Amino acid sequence: MPRKTKLTVTLGPATESEEMIGKLIDLGVNVFRLNMSHAKHEWASEMSKRIRRQSDQRGIHIPVLFDLTGPSIRTGTLDQPYDLKEGDIVEFREENTAPQLPISTTVNYPGLMADVKEGNTLVVDNGVLLMRIDKVEKDRVHCYVKTPGVMGSRRHINLPGVRLNLPALTEKDHKDLALAVSCKADYIAGSFVRDSSHVRELREAMEALEGEAQIVAKIEDQEAVKNIDAIIHAADVIMVARGDLGVEVDFEELPILQRRIVKRCHELGTRVIVATQMLESMISNPTPTRAEVTDVSNAAYEEADSLMLSGETSVGRYPERCVEAMVRISSRIERSGGLGYGQNVLLRDERQKVARAAVTLADSLPDGRLVVLTRRGVLANHVALLRPKTAHFYAFTPKPVVCRQLSLTRGITAFQISFAVNIEETIMAVTEHLKELGLVRPGTPMVIVSDILSNHFAANSILLHHA
Reported CATH class of domain 73-158: mainly beta
User: How far, in Å, CA of 358 to CA of 371, rounded?
Assistant: 9
Q: Could you list the pLDDT tens digit for every one of the 467 residues in the chain?
A: 789 999 999 999 999 999 999 999 999 999 999 999 989 999 999 999 999 999 999 999 999 999 999 998 999 999 999 999 999 999 999 999 999 999 999 999 999 999 999 999 999 998 899 999 999 999 999 999 999 999 999 999 999 989 899 999 999 999 999 999 999 999 999 999 999 999 999 999 999 999 999 999 999 999 999 999 999 999 999 999 999 999 999 999 999 999 999 999 999 999 999 999 999 999 999 999 999 999 999 999 999 999 999 999 999 999 999 999 999 999 999 999 899 998 889 888 888 888 999 999 999 998 899 999 999 999 999 999 999 998 899 999 999 999 999 999 999 999 999 998 888 889 999 999 999 999 999 999 999 998 876 654 456 788 898 98
Q: How many helices (H) and strands (E) does the chain have?
A: 16, 24
Architecture of the domain made up of 6-70+168-334: Alpha-Beta Barrel (3.20)
pLDDT on residue 233: 97
Burial 289-309, CB ≥16 within 10 A → b, else e: eeebbebbebbbbbbbbbbbb
For every residue of 100-119, which 3-state class applies, written as one string?
CCCCEEEECCCCHHHHCCCC
User: How far, in Å, CA of 16 to CA of 14, rounded?
Assistant: 6
Q: What is the CATH code for 347-466?
A: 3.40.1380.20
Give the three-class secondary structure for 261. Answer: helix
User: How far, in Å, CA of 260 to CA of 148, rounded?
Assistant: 34
pLDDT on residue 459: 62
Burial 32-68, CB ≥16 within 10 A → b, else e: bbbbbeebeeeebeebbebbeebbeeeebbbbbbbbb
Provide the terminal-to-terminal Cα distance of the chain, rounded to the nearest Å: 20
pLDDT on residue 407: 97
Residue type, 283: I
Domain parsing of the chain, residue ranges = 6-70+168-334, 73-158, 347-466
Quote the pTM value: 0.93
pLDDT on residue 117: 96
User: How far, in Å, CA of 334 to CA of 104, rounded?
Assistant: 51
135 Cα distance to chain centroid: 38
pLDDT on residue 453: 64
DSSP strands (E only) in 276-362: 306-309
User: How far, in Å, CA of 390 to CA of 369, rounded?
Assistant: 7
